[in-house]
Amino acid sequence: MGELKWIKIVTDLFDDPKIKLIESEQKADTFLIIWVKILCLAGKLNNSGLLALHEPMKPYTIEMLSREFSRKLKVVEQAVSIFLEYGMLEKINETYVISNWSKHQSADKIEKKNEYMRDYMTAYRSKQKELTKGLCKSNCKTNSRLNVSRTELDKEYKEEIKNIEKEKDIKASEDAMSVDTDASNGKADKIDFESLCEYWNTHSLLKEITKITEQRKPNVNARIKEHGLEAIYKMIDQAGQSPFLRGDNRQGFIATFDWCFKPKNFVKVLEGNYIDGKTNKTIYDDVEERVRKMNEYMGVKS
């Protein structure tokens, strides 16, 4: 599969809470440039968001990214660490992967359409050659699709892709309906997603959700497989005890259901890292505390 010549970047990129958090970092501009470079690299590789060379499969390391981006090793390491923490990147089997790449870029659809149109044009040119040689009349039907307009072809293609996506959604829905809660006996218990949704809305004290959608179920199921169903409810309770996750922080960050169920975020919330100001404290808070103590020492009232 060849490289992509372009990638999609949303116009409200800088309104994203994760990007706002990154902008509060001391090296914000450098980190953001590295992020855009990572997106462009993934487009060039065209490997479903995997930062890895194709043949043979060779994952990009921090050292390789540092050379690729002409940035210092330590800076790239810091940037990647932040991207992993915010769920922008994931690491699977020692390979860095851009989260939700196919959802945002739809690279597979682009490739399918390009292939479809290449086949069409090959057949069309073949018919043109036959016409010039007088081998068939202008209304010959060596390929019934050749006289179809480009608009009709696009419509047919979109319908075909819609059917493929529908089949994928059905499969994902079936996979998400149950989680193996007892690997020893092979039994699987169905998850009551409606009750889980209600528990989130009443206990997390974060933004309510209308339902646990088919897109959310795989992420929820993955966390249950990793930590157990009880941990899901405990994480939600821990979230409800964190002012930081509700926006009581200098960056204005507010956690969401999807953010909490990201692998690394889930563990941090579950372990109580955002309770009692453990994560609330920033460099600005340290400075304010030092100023307060200095004023107190000098007898200056603030």
CA dist list (Å): 19 to 33, 54, 82, 150, 252: 12, 30, 11, 40, 12
Burial of 146 (0-12, 13-18, 19+ CB in 10 A): middle
Radius of gyration of the chain (CA): 26
pLDDT one-digit tens code per residue, 4-63: 667 777 787 888 888 999 998 889 999 999 999 999 998 888 877 889 887 677 899 999
Nearest to 103 by CA among 48, 51, 170: 48
Please answer whether residues 41 and 76 qualify as being in contact, where contact means their C-beta atoms are separated by less than 8 angstroms. no
For domain 13-105, give the CATH number: 1.10.10.10
- Helix (H) / strand (E) element for 190: namely strand 187-190
DSSP 262: S
Please answer whether residues 76 and 38 qualify as being in contact, where contact means their C-beta atoms are separated by less than 8 angstroms. no
Task: Per residue of the chain (302 residues), give pLDDT as tens.
Answer: 556 667 777 787 888 888 999 998 889 999 999 999 999 998 888 877 889 887 677 899 999 999 999 999 999 999 999 999 998 999 888 899 998 776 666 545 555 556 666 676 677 667 666 666 655 554 554 444 444 455 665 666 566 666 666 665 555 554 444 444 444 344 445 678 999 999 999 999 999 999 999 999 999 999 999 999 999 999 999 999 988 898 888 888 899 999 999 999 999 999 988 886 554 444 445 556 666 667 676 666 65
pLDDT one-digit tens code per residue, 195-209: 999 999 999 999 999
Task: Quote the pLDDT of residue 251.
Answer: 80
Please answer whether residues 31 and 82 qualify as being in contact, where contact means their C-beta atoms are separated by less than 8 angstroms. yes
- Which residue ranges does the chain devote to CATH 1.10.10.10? 13-105
